[in-house]
Amino acid sequence: MTGLVNFAKEPYSVQLRELLVPGIGEEDVLLAVQAVGVCGSDIHMYAGTPSWHVKYPVVLGHEFSGVIAKVGARVRSFKEGDRVASETAAVLPPDSVYLRRGLYNLEPKRLGFGGEVDGAMAQFVKVPERCLHRLPGSLSFEKAALTEPCCVAYNAVCVNSHIGAGDSVAVIGPGPIGLLCAIMARLSGAGHLVVIGVAADAGRLKIARQIGAQTTLGAHNEDVADWVRNFRDGYGFDLVIDAAGVSASLKLALDIVRPAGQITKVGWGPQPFNASLDLLVKKAVTLQGSFSHNWPVWEMVISLIASGKIDLDPILSRLAPLDGWREIFDAMHSGEIVKGVLKP
Ligand SMILES: [Zn+2]
């Protein structure tokens, strides 16, 4: 089979390679991949800038759906031909305390597809049965491949944040996760929804307005803190979601969140914060991290996508065969498109 391999940490060490079809264990299935989303983390690995552990060489791809081609002897709930999407925790220690709590996404020894375990940018991938979720017939493989980033956003906004009906919400960072967080905020009953980016984000901020943001800031270098001082009572937002991850975005979040408000941080950034946290104390703000997702989030998100309550049409920008990967990676890297999906 052909797979897209990240073979070293050096920038642009990604190429298509001929690989053996993976063998499977008793509790695994062999999945014939039908669609695999390209994630910001794939782009970081392509550019040689991941801030997490990668086991080189590795087949990229952790947002995927497919058809079961083969089942292991002890697989109980799935059979050949089933249409499924897969979670991302490829390997979990069986005695994990967090696995027992259902919070296996937070298990420090968890190994993920496409970073530490071969992922789905290939014709086939080996997947443990516990990762699988059945897809309704009406849900396309392309949209199902975006279940994973939707689950990241759902967990951040609908599980780890609190939105009261009519609350004002700001999302910093209009990348795929930020835009999906905006969709989740809308779904949760947010009132005024603002998406904040930088000048290079003009195209993505236009999509933010399509998905329901009343206001977008940053495309024309607006002074965000100044805008917020003139917004309603001037105290700031009930909830700020940091989907950018750089230090400047957390600093901005502290400036524009209202007293007793909440900041949820879902974006990553390896740099030291390098600013004062006094506003966190003075405003008595709740700062909440959010990482990955678990089983109930997946079941909920699949039903929301299938029913059309989560509309992915504005987000899913481009489809390509596996050998068209470079064009998609470059277009996402430059911010030209929001989200690409490969069809291996
Ligand atoms: Zn991802």
Instruction: Give residue 266's pLDDT.
Output: 97
As a whole number of angstroms, the distance between CA 126 and CA 53 comes to: 21
Round the average pLDDT of the chain to a whole number and report it. Answer: 96
State mean pLDDT over 180-206.
96
The answer on pLDDT for 269 being more than 90 is: no
In angstroms, what is the span from residue 149 Cα to ligand 1's centroid? 6
What are the residues whose beta carbons fall under 8 Å from the beta carbon of 217, sequence distance 6 or more? 194, 195, 196, 197, 224, 227
C-beta of residue 175 within 8 angstroms of C-beta of residue 41: no
In angstroms, what is the span from residue 85 Cα to ligand 1's centroid? 14
C-beta of residue 96 within 8 angstroms of C-beta of residue 109: yes
Q: Which residue has the tokens 């081609």?
A: 69
Angle (nearest 5°) at CA 282 between 276 and 288: 75
In angstroms, what is the span from residue 286 Cα to ligand 1's centroid? 26
The answer on pLDDT for 164 being more than 90 is: yes
In angstroms, what is the span from residue 77 Cα to ligand 1's centroid? 26
Instruction: Give residue 270's pLDDT.
Output: 82
In angstroms, what is the span from residue 18 Cα to ligand 1's centroid? 24
The answer on pLDDT for 335 being more than 90 is: no
State mean pLDDT over 212-232.
96
Q: How far is CA 30 from CA 72, 274, 286, in A?
A: 8, 46, 43
Joined tokens for residue 152: 């990241």
Q: What is the pLDDT of residues 271-323, one digit of tens each?
A: 889 999 999 999 999 999 999 999 999 999 999 999 999 999 999 989 999 99
Top-confidence residue, 136 or 269? 136
In angstroms, what is the span from residue 148 Cα to ligand 1's centroid? 7
State mean pLDDT over 60-72.
98
Instruction: Give residue 263's pLDDT.
Output: 98
In angstroms, what is the span from residue 90 Cα to ligand 1's centroid? 14
Helix (H) / strand (E) containing 12: none
State mean pLDDT over 8-14.
96
In angstroms, what is the span from residue 332 Cα to ligand 1's centroid? 13
In angstroms, what is the span from residue 8 Cα to ligand 1's centroid? 20
Residue 258: Cβ within 10 Å count = 20
In angstroms, what is the span from residue 259 Cα to ligand 1's centroid? 32
User: HEC string of 274-318?
Assistant: CCCCHHHHHCCCEEEECCCCCHHHHHHHHHHHHCCCCCCCCCEEE
State mean pLDDT over 154-180.
97
Q: What global pTM score does this model have?
A: 0.97
In angstroms, what is the span from residue 185 Cα to ligand 1's centroid? 19
- Strands 215-217 and 237-242, bridge-based pairing: unpaired
Joined tokens for residue 56: 């080189």
In angstroms, what is the span from residue 106 Cα to ligand 1's centroid? 16
In angstroms, what is the span from residue 200 Cα to ligand 1's centroid? 22
Q: How confident is the model at residue 334 (pLDDT cuts 50, 70, 90)?
A: confident
Q: What is the pLDDT of residues 114-159, one digit of tens each?
A: 999 999 999 999 999 999 999 999 999 999 999 999 999 999 999 9
The answer on pLDDT for 51 being more than 90 is: no
